[in-house]
Amino acid sequence: MAHTHTAFEGKNALKLESGQTLGPITQCYTTFGSLNATKSNAILVCHALTGDADADIWWKTLIGPGKAVDTNRYFIVCANVIGGCKGSTGPSSINPETDQPYGSDFPVITIGDMVNAQYNLMEHLNIPYWLSVIGGSMGGMQALEWAASYPDKVRSCIPLAATAQVSPTAIAFDAIGRSAISSDPNFNKGHFYGKAIPQKGLATARMIAHITYLSEQSIDSKFGRKLQDKSEYGYHFDTDFQIESYLKYQGDKFVDRFDANTYLYLTKAISYFDMPRKYGSLEKAFSATQAKFLVIAITTDWLYTPAQSKEFVKSLIRLDKEVTYAEMDSMNGHDAFLLEQPDLTDLVQLFLEKLNDN
């Protein structure tokens, strides 16, 4: 697919919600398709915790020529978030003050900070507004934040498997994951670059999180109590069950492609995401937005639940905003937003087409 990888070097430091500043920062982004003459076909795709700018790869079910988010029709932008480890400024980037990687000297960032950085990118690209901002999970949080903080720059907003206020249960799982990373003897207070990395801690964090991305039904159906490569219990502490083997594989594979500090910073940003807290209430958050909403929740998502999606949907209805809420019936849990779901892709396609017709 025709796409362009680019690094956008900002000119000014980014003012963060914490009061600190960061940068000037780099944002690594990918674009697909072309901006039309009226600049009315730009769509921002926001990635989830472990994603990157290559939205055509991790969201291939949705994005591509002739697909719901049609690269022949729309100009699609996806940037690696700040704090990330896929090209944008993050804890593994060089801190200009020390000429060493930031490590734990990187400031704590928020979903709002990610969105503010993306706003600078939008200006840089001379995009007057987004036809749509789309994202799942942490990407959906960014989409909601866009609608709230740039109310006249977002024509539509499609949060999938998202929440406007991360639950204490989700905070708990992420906190344990962070604790596993910072307990790893290789963690070295975040200054492990060029040395042994805290891979066991990161693998543990990934395994914990991975359970929350599945559902009890999908675990039962995919793995059940099936043993891995054996018919009898091993009576040892190696892997006995397929679910153990699967999680171990997920953990081990993850450490090769992800930075442990990025994991800390992005999960912290997620834990902090609380629109009622930031804006006073959900109604205040969305009062000025000009966006139409397509909100999609997954029936078996117990991380960012349908009930949580309905919370902000109710606020949007109270505000007389145009909102469509769809609950996708899937047994695949939170991760279903990334999987082949004809109902889901049809909905997104129709929603975008209707916008375009206006």
> Is 346 annotated as catalytic?
no
d(Cα 54, Cα 277) in Å, to the nearest integer? 32
Q: Which of 88, 93, 132, 137 is catalytic?
A: 137
CB of 116 to a second copy, least distance (A): 16
Return the number of the residue (41 or 92) whose C-beta is nearest a second copy. 92
Nearest to 332, CA basis, from 173, 166, 220, 203: 220
User: Which residue out of 301, 309, 315, 335 is catalytically annotated?
Assistant: 301
Residue 133 or 255 having the CB closest to a second copy: 255
> Minimal distance in Å, beta carbon 173 to a second copy?
7
- 152 sits near a second copy (criterion: CB under 8 A): no
CA pair distance 216, 207, nearest whole angstrom: 15
220 binds a second copy, rule: CB under 8 A: yes
Indicate whether 331 belongs to the interface with a second copy (CB under 8 A): no
Say whether residue 225 binds a second copy (CB under 8 A). Answer: yes
The residue (of 95 and 228) whose beta carbon lies closer to a second copy is 228
Residues across the chain:
358
Least distance in Å: CB of 89 to a second copy? 17
β-pairing verdict for 292-298 and 75-79: unpaired
Which residues, numbered 158-217, are part of the site for a second copy (CB under 8 A)?
165-169, 171-173, 175-176, 178-180, 182-185, 200-201, 203-204, 207-208, 211, 216
| Residue from 48, 127, 158, 243 binding a second copy (CB under 8 A) | 243
Q: Which stretch binds a second copy (CB under 8 A): 22-30, 78-86, 267-275, 348-356?
A: 267-275
Cβ-based nearer residue to a second copy, 2 or 176 = 176
In the complex, which residues of this chain contact a second copy (CB under 8 A)? Answer: 18-20, 104, 107-108, 165-169, 171-173, 175-176, 178-180, 182-185, 200-201, 203-204, 207-208, 211, 216, 219-220, 223-225, 233, 235-237, 240-241, 243-244, 247-248, 251, 264, 268, 271-272, 274, 277, 302
Residues recognised as catalytic: 137, 301, 334
